[in-house]
Protein backbone atom coordinates (compact mmCIF):
# COMPACT_ATOMS: atom_id res chain seq x y z
CA UNK A 1 0.00 0.00 0.00
CA UNK A 2 1.26 3.48 -0.83
CA UNK A 3 0.20 7.04 -1.50
CA UNK A 4 0.99 8.63 -4.85
CA UNK A 5 3.73 11.25 -4.51
CA UNK A 6 3.76 14.98 -5.10
CA UNK A 7 6.05 16.12 -7.93
CA UNK A 8 7.41 19.64 -8.31
CA UNK A 9 7.92 20.53 -11.97
CA UNK A 10 10.02 23.61 -12.63
CA UNK A 11 12.99 25.21 -14.32
CA UNK A 12 16.26 24.89 -12.39
CA UNK A 13 16.92 27.65 -9.84
CA UNK A 14 13.22 28.13 -9.05
CA UNK A 15 13.30 27.60 -5.27
CA UNK A 16 12.56 23.89 -5.78
CA UNK A 17 15.11 22.57 -3.26
CA UNK A 18 13.89 24.80 -0.44
CA UNK A 19 10.16 24.49 -1.17
CA UNK A 20 10.29 20.71 -1.61
CA UNK A 21 12.20 20.36 1.66
CA UNK A 22 9.65 22.58 3.40
CA UNK A 23 6.62 20.66 2.17
CA UNK A 24 8.48 17.43 2.91
CA UNK A 25 8.64 18.34 6.60
CA UNK A 26 4.86 18.31 6.95
CA UNK A 27 3.90 15.52 9.41
CA UNK A 28 2.03 13.67 6.64
CA UNK A 29 4.70 13.85 3.93
CA UNK A 30 8.23 12.62 3.28
CA UNK A 31 10.60 14.92 1.40
CA UNK A 32 12.86 12.91 -0.88
CA UNK A 33 16.12 14.27 -2.23
CA UNK A 34 16.46 14.20 -6.03
CA UNK A 35 15.60 10.59 -6.89
CA UNK A 36 15.76 10.96 -10.69
CA UNK A 37 14.30 7.47 -10.90
CA UNK A 38 11.80 7.85 -13.70
CA UNK A 39 14.15 9.18 -16.38
CA UNK A 40 14.46 5.62 -17.75
CA UNK A 41 12.28 2.51 -17.85
CA UNK A 42 14.64 0.19 -15.93
CA UNK A 43 17.10 0.65 -13.11
CA UNK A 44 19.85 -0.78 -15.33
CA UNK A 45 19.19 1.92 -17.92
CA UNK A 46 19.15 4.61 -15.25
CA UNK A 47 22.48 3.52 -13.76
CA UNK A 48 24.07 3.47 -17.21
CA UNK A 49 22.58 6.86 -18.01
CA UNK A 50 24.18 8.38 -14.92
CA UNK A 51 27.66 6.96 -15.33
CA UNK A 52 30.87 9.00 -15.33
CA UNK A 53 30.49 12.73 -14.68
CA UNK A 54 26.74 12.31 -14.14
CA UNK A 55 27.13 9.74 -11.37
CA UNK A 56 26.27 12.39 -8.78
CA UNK A 57 22.68 12.15 -10.04
CA UNK A 58 22.49 8.81 -8.20
CA UNK A 59 23.31 10.36 -4.83
CA UNK A 60 19.70 11.18 -3.95
CA UNK A 61 18.58 7.59 -4.46
CA UNK A 62 21.57 6.25 -2.51
CA UNK A 63 20.89 8.59 0.42
CA UNK A 64 17.19 7.74 0.41
CA UNK A 65 17.79 3.99 0.51
CA UNK A 66 20.46 4.47 3.16
CA UNK A 67 18.13 6.49 5.40
CA UNK A 68 15.05 4.30 4.92
CA UNK A 69 16.69 0.90 5.26
CA UNK A 70 19.61 1.62 7.61
CA UNK A 71 18.20 4.56 9.55
CA UNK A 72 21.35 6.59 8.91
CA UNK A 73 23.60 7.98 6.22
CA UNK A 74 27.21 6.88 6.62
CA UNK A 75 29.89 5.57 4.31
CA UNK A 76 28.88 2.02 5.23
CA UNK A 77 25.13 2.54 4.84
CA UNK A 78 25.76 4.08 1.40
CA UNK A 79 27.65 0.91 0.47
CA UNK A 80 24.60 -1.06 1.65
CA UNK A 81 22.39 1.16 -0.50
CA UNK A 82 24.55 0.41 -3.52
CA UNK A 83 24.09 -3.32 -2.92
CA UNK A 84 20.32 -2.70 -2.56
CA UNK A 85 20.34 -1.08 -6.00
CA UNK A 86 22.50 -3.83 -7.50
CA UNK A 87 19.98 -6.48 -6.40
CA UNK A 88 17.20 -4.61 -8.24
CA UNK A 89 18.96 -3.91 -11.52
CA UNK A 90 16.39 -5.97 -13.45
CA UNK A 91 13.48 -4.06 -11.93
CA UNK A 92 11.70 -1.20 -13.62
CA UNK A 93 12.25 2.24 -12.14
CA UNK A 94 8.50 2.34 -11.52
CA UNK A 95 8.73 -0.80 -9.34
CA UNK A 96 11.63 0.69 -7.37
CA UNK A 97 9.84 4.00 -6.87
CA UNK A 98 6.68 2.24 -5.68
CA UNK A 99 8.76 0.18 -3.25
CA UNK A 100 10.11 3.39 -1.72
CA UNK A 101 6.57 4.79 -1.47
CA UNK A 102 5.48 1.60 0.31
CA UNK A 103 8.40 1.95 2.70
CA UNK A 104 7.38 5.45 3.81
CA UNK A 105 3.63 4.68 4.00
CA UNK A 106 1.41 6.21 5.40
CA UNK A 107 3.44 9.29 4.47
CA UNK A 108 3.22 10.80 0.99
CA UNK A 109 6.49 11.33 -0.90
CA UNK A 110 7.54 14.71 -2.26
CA UNK A 111 10.01 14.83 -5.17
CA UNK A 112 11.53 17.74 -7.12
CA UNK A 113 14.04 16.02 -9.40
CA UNK A 114 14.92 18.63 -12.09
CA UNK A 115 15.58 15.86 -14.62
CA UNK A 116 11.86 15.12 -14.85
CA UNK A 117 11.11 18.41 -16.62
CA UNK A 118 13.95 17.91 -19.09
CA UNK A 119 12.02 15.66 -21.48
CA UNK A 120 8.37 14.80 -22.27
CA UNK A 121 9.16 11.08 -21.92
CA UNK A 122 10.22 11.60 -18.30
CA UNK A 123 7.01 13.43 -17.47
CA UNK A 124 4.76 10.87 -19.10
CA UNK A 125 6.61 8.05 -17.35
CA UNK A 126 5.71 9.69 -14.03
CA UNK A 127 2.03 9.88 -14.92
CA UNK A 128 2.05 6.32 -16.20
CA UNK A 129 3.59 5.12 -12.93
CA UNK A 130 1.43 7.32 -10.71
CA UNK A 131 -1.84 8.12 -12.52
CA UNK A 132 -3.15 9.56 -9.24
CA UNK A 133 -0.01 11.61 -8.58
CA UNK A 134 -0.02 15.31 -7.72
CA UNK A 135 1.87 17.84 -9.83
CA UNK A 136 2.89 21.32 -8.75
CA UNK A 137 4.07 23.57 -11.57
CA UNK A 138 6.38 25.88 -9.63
CA UNK A 139 7.40 29.07 -11.42
CA UNK A 140 9.82 31.89 -10.75
CA UNK A 141 10.06 35.27 -12.47
CA UNK A 142 12.28 34.80 -15.57
CA UNK A 143 14.57 37.69 -14.60
CA UNK A 144 15.21 36.41 -11.08
CA UNK A 145 15.52 32.84 -12.34
CA UNK A 146 17.93 33.94 -15.05
CA UNK A 147 20.07 35.85 -12.57
CA UNK A 148 20.22 32.77 -10.36
CA UNK A 149 21.22 30.57 -13.31
CA UNK A 150 24.03 32.95 -14.24
CA UNK A 151 25.35 33.02 -10.66
CA UNK A 152 25.46 29.23 -10.47
CA UNK A 153 29.00 28.29 -11.40
CA UNK A 154 31.78 30.50 -12.69
CA UNK A 155 31.21 32.55 -15.86
CA UNK A 156 27.80 31.05 -16.58
CA UNK A 157 29.01 27.45 -16.29
CA UNK A 158 25.58 26.18 -15.17
CA UNK A 159 23.88 28.02 -18.03
CA UNK A 160 26.29 26.44 -20.50
CA UNK A 161 25.76 23.01 -18.98
CA UNK A 162 21.99 23.32 -19.39
CA UNK A 163 22.35 24.72 -22.94
CA UNK A 164 20.67 28.02 -22.02
CA UNK A 165 21.54 29.81 -25.26
CA UNK A 166 19.97 32.24 -27.67
CA UNK A 167 20.51 30.42 -30.96
CA UNK A 168 18.89 33.18 -33.02
CA UNK A 169 22.17 35.10 -33.14
CA UNK A 170 25.51 34.05 -34.59
CA UNK A 171 27.43 33.03 -32.63
CA UNK A 172 24.87 31.91 -30.02
CA UNK A 173 25.01 33.76 -26.68
CA UNK A 174 24.11 32.62 -23.20
CA UNK A 175 20.58 33.70 -22.31
CA UNK A 176 18.60 31.73 -19.67
CA UNK A 177 15.25 33.14 -20.81
CA UNK A 178 15.16 30.71 -23.74
CA UNK A 179 15.64 27.67 -21.52
CA UNK A 180 13.07 29.07 -19.07
CA UNK A 181 10.57 29.36 -21.90
CA UNK A 182 11.30 25.89 -23.26
CA UNK A 183 10.84 24.20 -19.88
CA UNK A 184 7.66 26.12 -19.02
CA UNK A 185 6.08 25.21 -22.36
CA UNK A 186 7.01 21.56 -21.86
CA UNK A 187 5.43 21.50 -18.38
CA UNK A 188 2.30 23.30 -19.58
CA UNK A 189 1.85 20.81 -22.42
CA UNK A 190 2.26 17.89 -20.02
CA UNK A 191 -0.13 19.37 -17.46
CA UNK A 192 -2.87 19.41 -20.09
CA UNK A 193 -2.84 15.60 -19.81
CA UNK A 194 -3.25 15.70 -16.02
CA UNK A 195 -6.71 15.83 -14.38
CA UNK A 196 -7.52 19.30 -13.04
CA UNK A 197 -7.73 18.16 -9.42
CA UNK A 198 -4.19 16.73 -9.58
CA UNK A 199 -2.30 19.84 -10.70
CA UNK A 200 -1.50 23.21 -9.25
CA UNK A 201 0.35 26.27 -10.55
CA UNK A 202 2.08 28.41 -7.95
CA UNK A 203 4.62 31.23 -7.94
CA UNK A 204 7.62 30.50 -5.76
CA UNK A 205 7.95 34.12 -4.63
CA UNK A 206 4.36 34.11 -3.38
CA UNK A 207 4.79 30.80 -1.58
CA UNK A 208 7.92 31.88 0.31
CA UNK A 209 6.66 35.37 1.10
CA UNK A 210 3.59 34.05 2.94
CA UNK A 211 4.14 30.35 3.74
CA UNK A 212 1.34 30.11 6.27
CA UNK A 213 -1.32 31.00 3.72
CA UNK A 214 0.18 29.38 0.65
CA UNK A 215 1.41 26.11 2.12
CA UNK A 216 -2.02 25.99 3.70
CA UNK A 217 -3.52 26.09 0.20
CA UNK A 218 -1.26 23.21 -0.85
CA UNK A 219 -2.19 21.22 2.24
CA UNK A 220 -5.91 21.71 1.55
CA UNK A 221 -5.37 20.65 -2.07
CA UNK A 222 -3.56 17.49 -0.94
CA UNK A 223 -6.16 16.75 1.72
CA UNK A 224 -3.69 16.88 4.61
CA UNK A 225 -3.98 18.68 7.95
CA UNK A 226 -2.96 22.31 8.30
CA UNK A 227 -2.53 23.61 11.84
CA UNK A 228 0.13 25.36 13.91
CA UNK A 229 2.18 22.19 14.31
CA UNK A 230 2.20 21.58 10.55
CA UNK A 231 3.17 25.19 9.86
CA UNK A 232 5.97 25.00 12.41
CA UNK A 233 7.32 21.83 10.80
CA UNK A 234 7.18 23.26 7.28
CA UNK A 235 9.22 26.31 8.29
CA UNK A 236 12.10 24.10 9.49
CA UNK A 237 13.39 22.33 6.37
CA UNK A 238 16.77 21.95 8.07
CA UNK A 239 15.25 19.12 10.12
CA UNK A 240 15.17 16.86 7.08
CA UNK A 241 17.74 14.02 7.13
CA UNK A 242 18.70 15.16 3.62
CA UNK A 243 19.21 18.86 4.47
CA UNK A 244 23.00 18.72 4.58
CA UNK A 245 25.89 17.32 2.62
CA UNK A 246 25.88 13.54 2.65
CA UNK A 247 28.60 11.03 3.51
CA UNK A 248 31.44 9.71 1.36
CA UNK A 249 29.96 8.04 -1.69
CA UNK A 250 26.87 10.26 -1.88
CA UNK A 251 27.57 13.82 -0.72
CA UNK A 252 24.96 15.51 -2.92
CA UNK A 253 21.43 14.52 -3.89
CA UNK A 254 20.25 18.11 -4.00
CA UNK A 255 21.35 21.62 -4.94
CA UNK A 256 24.78 22.26 -3.42
CA UNK A 257 23.95 25.76 -2.19
CA UNK A 258 20.84 24.46 -0.45
CA UNK A 259 22.79 21.66 1.23
CA UNK A 260 25.18 24.22 2.72
CA UNK A 261 22.41 26.52 3.97
CA UNK A 262 19.09 24.80 4.45
CA UNK A 263 17.11 27.02 6.80
CA UNK A 264 14.08 29.07 5.80
CA UNK A 265 14.44 32.77 6.52
CA UNK A 266 11.14 34.70 6.35
CA UNK A 267 11.70 37.68 4.09
CA UNK A 268 9.94 39.70 1.43
CA UNK A 269 11.17 38.75 -2.02
CA UNK A 270 11.88 41.81 -4.18
CA UNK A 271 9.74 42.07 -7.29
CA UNK A 272 11.37 41.77 -10.71
CA UNK A 273 10.53 43.56 -13.93
CA UNK A 274 9.86 42.23 -17.40
CA UNK A 275 10.97 45.55 -18.89
CA UNK A 276 14.45 46.71 -19.79
CA UNK A 277 17.70 45.06 -20.81
CA UNK A 278 18.95 41.84 -19.29
CA UNK A 279 22.10 41.96 -17.12
CA UNK A 280 23.53 38.82 -18.67
CA UNK A 281 23.39 40.21 -22.26
CA UNK A 282 26.07 42.53 -23.56
CA UNK A 283 23.90 43.70 -26.47
CA UNK A 284 21.30 45.37 -24.26
CA UNK A 285 18.42 43.14 -25.39
CA UNK A 286 15.49 42.33 -23.10
CA UNK A 287 12.94 39.56 -22.89
CA UNK A 288 11.44 38.30 -26.13
CA UNK A 289 7.66 38.84 -26.54
CA UNK A 290 6.83 35.15 -25.98
CA UNK A 291 8.57 35.15 -22.58
CA UNK A 292 6.80 38.36 -21.57
CA UNK A 293 3.41 36.99 -22.58
CA UNK A 294 3.88 33.72 -20.67
CA UNK A 295 5.19 35.54 -17.61
CA UNK A 296 2.09 37.75 -17.68
CA UNK A 297 -0.05 34.60 -17.82
CA UNK A 298 1.74 33.39 -14.68
CA UNK A 299 0.85 36.66 -12.96
CA UNK A 300 4.16 38.49 -13.22
CA UNK A 301 4.48 42.18 -14.14
Check the CA dihedral 211-65-63-85 and report its sign. Answer: negative
42, 90 Cβ separation under 8 angstroms: yes
Q: How far apart are CA 216 and CA 289, in angstroms?
A: 34
Check the CA dihedral 245-250-254-255 and report its sign. Answer: positive
Q: Give the closest residue to 269 by CA, choosing from 20, 9, 33, 18.
A: 18
199, 191 Cβ separation under 8 angstroms: yes
Q: Would you mind telling me the total number of residues written for the chain in this entry? A: 301
Q: Give the closest residue to 287 by CA, choosing from 270, 273, 269.
A: 273
CATH 3.40.30.10 fits 6-140+199-269, yes or no: no
74, 247 Cβ separation under 8 angstroms: yes
Instruction: Give me the residue spans of the domains in the chain.
Output: 6-140+199-269
Q: How far apart are CA 20 and CA 26, in angstroms?
A: 10
**Confidence (pLDDT) at 185:** 98
**Confidence (pLDDT) at 162:** 83
Q: Supply the DSSP symbol for 169.
A: S
**Confidence (pLDDT) at 163:** 84
Check the CA dihedral 32-38-39-41 and report its sign. Answer: positive
**Confidence (pLDDT) at 155:** 66
Q: How far apart are CA 203 and CA 216, in angstroms?
A: 14
Biggest CA pair distance of the chain = 56
**Confidence (pLDDT) at 267:** 81
* Residue 48, H or E segment: helix 43-49
> What pairing do the DSSP bridges indicate for beta strands 108-111 and 134-139?
unpaired
For residue 190, what are the CA distances in angstroms to 19, 104, 114?
A: 21, 27, 15
**Confidence (pLDDT) at 166:** 87
**Confidence (pLDDT) at 159:** 83
Which segments in the chain show pLDDT lower than 50? none
**Confidence (pLDDT) at 262:** 76
**Confidence (pLDDT) at 161:** 81
The whole-angstrom distance between residue 227's C-alpha and the CA centroid of its chain comes to 25
Phi/psi of residue 147, nearest 5 degrees: -60, -40
Amino acid sequence: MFKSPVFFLASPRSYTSLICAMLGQHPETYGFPELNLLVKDTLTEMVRYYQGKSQFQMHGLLRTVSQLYAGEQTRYSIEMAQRWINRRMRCSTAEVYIELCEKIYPLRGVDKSPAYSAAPSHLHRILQTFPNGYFIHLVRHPRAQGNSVMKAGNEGRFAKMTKAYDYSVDPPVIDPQFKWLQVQKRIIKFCKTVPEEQKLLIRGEELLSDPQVNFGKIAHWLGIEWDNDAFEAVTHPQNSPFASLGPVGAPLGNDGNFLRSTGYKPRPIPSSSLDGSLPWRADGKGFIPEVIQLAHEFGYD
